[in-house]
């Protein structure tokens, strides 16, 4: 790795051999200005295995001086009159495709490192974290030529107007731990395509895979400072968001942190995209197919995807009273069929949670559900066959009133609630009775009926009999789920500013 100053030591005696690369990774530099730079800070972020709780790596814990250096590098790259922001679209697209190729070369390793850190099963990360960043880079490389940098429009006053699309400037991208590579690429891919430069802050919980992305950036020979990587926690993020040389912020994470970032950006009149939490509903209509042999492959990820550590998971199930017991039994059967195991095993459906703190949070919600009178029908504890690692059993609650805490707050773990409804109108009302507005699903054998229900959901996206993001189509964040949009060619607009010159 080019000047990365990374050392690797053998695993501690007794450490689980399925963990990330069978080694402890010690990385001592930050990717700033096109090189692995020695940090100013002497602090370290320790990284632990979700599977074993053992130390698996460490990276620098940057301070304000390191963040300043990264922003300066991005600013210098953006302000360079011959630099990235002034390259022809075809040249930027070529650089992005080189980066996509280099990330693809590391795809298997990226999937393994992510799974070892956050507990998401390797079968999931191999099909998502490993491949979608490259797809996103190529998608936006293709999109650049579809929107000209300048065009002439007829003026309403009878003359002509020169419309210019210009990159907004230096972008601060703050990435969460649950899907770090995809959500990082959803920020930097359209930003780079638009001509912006980026300071990307990977999360403290899962920073190791960002080393591989940094290596790919250097091998792709992007201009120095165009894409910088500085991992860190809350303090590093706060300094980056408020930095006077940052022109735009893109954040994915919790609603509470999103609100804080929104307040800072509002005060600074700085544009911001916030993708925050969700409490999405899965509406099971009374004609739904409940045969797990035919719908289980779509239902499992929609309800328990990524161990429930996904803001768009539709874990709030709304079931018709006429088939209520059948729906509950189906979901319990689904939960029972899921293999709980170490995230790096190909047979695992539900892995551990990212940290002890996250497991305690999820267990607290389970206890609250029981206290408030919900009926615990499956799971609720720690799997006895997993003595180490931050595991929680797939958990199903029935008879959940929509006013209960577990029906209203994002749990971010493998916990599904089932609430009865009387008719379609009642189901739609319950689905929309949430402070969030991120996603939703409708389960039915009548596509037209499903579409009619989905149209009335106050969400940025919805799926009929499945939930799978479409990278070519935008989705917006609504209510407490955030502000702005992501994906699709429309995301480019988030990273451009417009200038009209009246001719």
pLDDT tens track for 433-459 = 999 999 999 999 999 999 999 999 999
- Catalytic-role residue among 311, 363, 393, 410: 311
Rounded percentage of the chain residues whose pLDDT exceeds 90: 93
Q: If DSSP codes are grouped into helix, strand and coil, which group holds residue 51?
A: coil
Structure tokens at 109: 């390793």
164 bridge partner residues: 150, 499
275 noted as active-site residue = yes
pLDDT at 495 over 70: yes
Predicted pLDDT of residue 13? 37
More reliable by pLDDT, 148 or 451: 451
- Supply 490's token pair: 């429309």
- Residues paired with residue 281 on neighbouring β-strands, in sequence order: 316, 440
Q: What is the per-residue pLDDT for 1?
A: 60
User: Residue 112 pLDDT more than 70?
Assistant: yes
**265 given a catalytic annotation:** no
Cα 118 from Cα 343, distance rounded (Å): 9
Q: How far apart are CA 221 and CA 227, in angstroms?
A: 11
Show me where the domains of the chain are located: 63-276+481-502, 281-470
- Asked whether 199 and 230 are in contact (CB, 8 A), the reply is yes
Q: Could you give the CA distance from residue 481 to residue 436 in angstroms, rounded to a whole number? A: 5
Sheet hosting strand 160-167, strand order edge to edge: 150-154, 160-167, 496-502
- Residue 148: pLDDT band (50, 70, 90) is confident
Mean pLDDT of 271-299: 97
Catalytic residue among 275, 363, 393, 410: 275
H or E stretch at 234:
helix 234-241
| pLDDT for the residue numbered 18 | 45
Give 10's pLDDT tier (boundaries 50, 70, 90).
Answer: very low
What length does the chain have? 503
- The third-level CATH classification (topology) of the domain covering 63-276+481-502 is Aldehyde Dehydrogenase; Chain A, domain 1 (3.40.605)
State residue 122's pLDDT score: 97
Residue 145's pLDDT band (cuts 50, 70, 90): confident
Look at residue 20 and tell me whether its pLDDT is greater than 50.
no
Q: Which fold has domain 281-470?
A: Aldehyde Dehydrogenase; Chain A, domain 2 (3.40.309)
Average pLDDT value over all residues in the chain: 94
Q: What is the DSSP letter of 159?
A: S
Flag whether pLDDT at 12 surpasses 60: no
- Percent of the chain exceeding pLDDT 70 equals 96
Per-residue pLDDT tens over the stretch 211-245: 999 999 999 999 999 999 999 999 999 999 999 99
């Amino acid at each position: 790795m080019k000047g990365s100053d990374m050392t690797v030591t053998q695993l501690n005696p007794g450490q689980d051999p399925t963990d990330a690369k069978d080694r402890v990774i010690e990385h001592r530099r930050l990717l700033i200005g096109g090189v692995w730079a020695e940090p100013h800070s002497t602090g370290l972020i320790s990284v632990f295995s979700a599977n074993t709780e053992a130390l698996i790596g460490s990276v620098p814990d940057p301070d304000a001086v390191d963040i300043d250096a990264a922003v300066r590098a991005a600013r210098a790259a953006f302000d360079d009159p011959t630099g990235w922001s002034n390259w022809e679209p075809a040249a930027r697209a070529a650089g992005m495709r080189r980066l996509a190729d280099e990330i693809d070369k590391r795809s298997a390793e990226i999937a393994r490192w992510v799974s070892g850190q956050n507990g998401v099963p390797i079968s999931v990360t191999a099909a998502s974290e490993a491949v979608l960043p490259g797809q996103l880079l190529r998608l936006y490389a293709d999109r650049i030529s579809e929107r000209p940098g300048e065009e002439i429009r007829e003026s309403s006053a009878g003359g002509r107007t020169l419309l210019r699309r210009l990159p907004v400037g230096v972008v601060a991208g703050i990435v969460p731990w649950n899907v770090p590579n995809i959500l990082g690429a959803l920020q930097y891919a359209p930003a780079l395509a638009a001509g912006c430069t980026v300071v990307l802050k990977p999360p403290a919980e899962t920073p190791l895979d960002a080393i591989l992305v940094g290596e790919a950036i250097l091998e792709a020979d992007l201009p120095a400072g165009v894409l910088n990587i500085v991992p860190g926690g809350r303090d590093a993020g706060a300094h980056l968001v408020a930095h006077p040389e940052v022109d735009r912020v893109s954040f994915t994470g919790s609603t509470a942190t999103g609100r804080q970032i929104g307040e800072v950006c509002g005060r600074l009149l700085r544009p911001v995209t916030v993708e925050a939490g969700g409490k999405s509903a899965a509406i099971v209509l009374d004609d739904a197919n409940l045969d797990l042999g035919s719908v289980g492959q779509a239902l499992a990820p929609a309800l328990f995807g990524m161990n429930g550590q996904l803001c768009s998971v539709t874990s709030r199930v709304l079931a018709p009273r006429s088939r209520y017991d059948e729906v509950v039994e189906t979901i319990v059967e689904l939960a029972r069929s899921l293999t709980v195991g170490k995230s790096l095993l190909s047979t695992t459906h539900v892995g551990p949670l990212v940290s002890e703190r996250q497991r305690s949070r999820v267990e607290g919600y389970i206890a609250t559900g029981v206290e408030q009178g919900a009926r615990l029908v499956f799971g609720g504890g720690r799997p006895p066959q997993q003595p180490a690692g931050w595991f929680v059993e797939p958990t199903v609650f029935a008879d959940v009133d929509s006013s209960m805490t577990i029906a209203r707050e994002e749990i971010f773990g493998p916990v599904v609630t089932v609430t009865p409804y009387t008719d379609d109108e009642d189901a739609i009302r319950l689905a929309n009775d949430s402070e969030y507005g991120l996603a939703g699903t409708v389960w039915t054998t009548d596509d037209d009926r499903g579409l009619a229900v989905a149209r009335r959901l106050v969400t940025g996206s919805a799926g009929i009999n499945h939930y799978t993001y479409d990278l070519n189509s935008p989705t917006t964040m609504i209510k407490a789920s955030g502000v702005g949009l992501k994906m699709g060619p429309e995301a480019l607009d988030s990273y451009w500013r417009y200038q009209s010159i009246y001719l």
